[in-house]
Amino acid sequence: MAAGVLVDQIRSFNRVVTQRVGALDDRYLGRNRPLGQDRVLWEIGTEGCEVRALRSRLGLDAGQGDELVAAMRTVRRLLTTSAIDIRPVATPGADARSCVRAYFAELDRRSDSGFDAAAGISAEPHEVTPPAGLFLVAYLHREPVGCGAVKHHRGEPSEIKRMWVAESARGLGIARRLLAELEADAVASGATTARLETNKALVEAIALYRSAGYVEVPAFNDEPFAHHWFEKRLPPPSRS
C-alpha cells in the first residue's frame, strides 16, 4: 500500500477517534487548550520532530499496512455507528422536511420516469404522528442523515414509508435500525403484518427488505412509482 494512502487512512481514523473521545473539546484533559495545541507543543518540544515516510517510520511492509488500514476501518465504522442516534420527531419539523426532500430528490434522480410526490401514496404529517403512525430521523453528530415512517391501520397491515439514508452515511446499518424500530412500533400498534413498496432503481433498499424477511407479493396499492411490493409477518408483542 502506498504511503500516501496509508497516511490518509490514519488521518481519517484519527478524526473519528478524537471526536468520539472528546479530544476536540477546548479543554482537552482538563487543560486550557484543545488537543491540537497540545500536539503542536509536543511535536516541537526541545528537539523538534523529524518528518519521515510513515511506512518507514512504523517499520511496516505492504501487507502489514493493509492489515492496519483494515483494522482502522473497522474501528472507525464501529465508533461512527455508536454515534448514531435515532429518535421520533414531529412532522413537519425542519429535520423531517430536510430528509424527505433529499429522499424525493434521489427518487427523481434515479427513477426512469422521475418522481412526483403529489401523485403517490400519501404520508402526511397527521398520518405519521402517534398514535396514527411514527416518523423517525437518524442523526450522526447531530446532523440528520436518514429517516423512515410508518402508517398504522386498525385491523390491517402497517405501511412502511419514507425510508432513506444519506449517501455519506450508508454502510453503517442505519436503514436496518430504522426498519427494525418502525416494525416494533407497528407491533405495538397491534399490526401483525408490515407492508411497503419501492422503485426498481433502489436496489440497495430492495436488498435490505429481502434480507430483513420481506417477501415480494402482488401489488396491494396503485402507487405509480413502485415496481416491487413487499410484505412481512411481524412477531407477536413481547410479554415482557
**What cell numbers appear for 63 in the block?**
501487507
pLDDT digits (tens, 9 = 90+) for 102-159: 999 999 999 988 899 889 899 999 999 999 999 999 999 899 999 999 999 999 999 9
Residues linked to residue 134 through DSSP beta bridges, in sequence order: 150
pTM of the model as a whole: 0.72
Q: Among 137, 159, 138, which Cα is nearest to 92's?
A: 137
Q: How far is it, in rounded angstroms, from Cα 219 to Cα 223?
A: 9
- Residue ranges per domain, the chain? 3-82, 84-233
**What cell numbers appear for 76 in the block?**
472507525
Residues 150, 158 contacting (CB under 8 angstroms): yes
Distances (CA, A) of 131 to 39, 91, 128, 151, 212: 52, 13, 8, 9, 25
**What cell numbers appear for 158 in the block?**
402497517
| Residue 106 pLDDT | 96
Q: Maximum Cα–Cα distance for the chain, whole Å?
A: 76
Looking up cell 422521475, which residue turns up?
114
| Residue 238 pLDDT | 78
Q: How far is it, in rounded angstroms, from Cα 84 to Cα 90?
A: 19
Q: Is the model's pLDDT at 192 over the cut of 50?
A: yes
**Whole-number mean pLDDT of the chain?**
83
Residues 151, 186 contacting (CB under 8 angstroms): no
Q: How far is it, in rounded angstroms, from Cα 57 to Cα 64?
A: 13
| Residue 113 pLDDT | 86
Which top CATH class is 84-233? alpha beta
Q: Among 176, 184, 177, 179, which Cα is nearest to 196's?
A: 179
179 falls in which pLDDT band (50, 70, 90)? Answer: very high
Q: Among 227, 231, 223, which Cα is nearest to 192's?
A: 231
Q: Is the model's pLDDT at 59 over the cut of 60?
A: no
pLDDT digits (tens, 9 = 90+) for 4-55: 666 666 666 666 656 665 555 555 555 555 655 555 544 445 444 443 444 5
Cα 129 to the center of its chain, rounded Å: 22
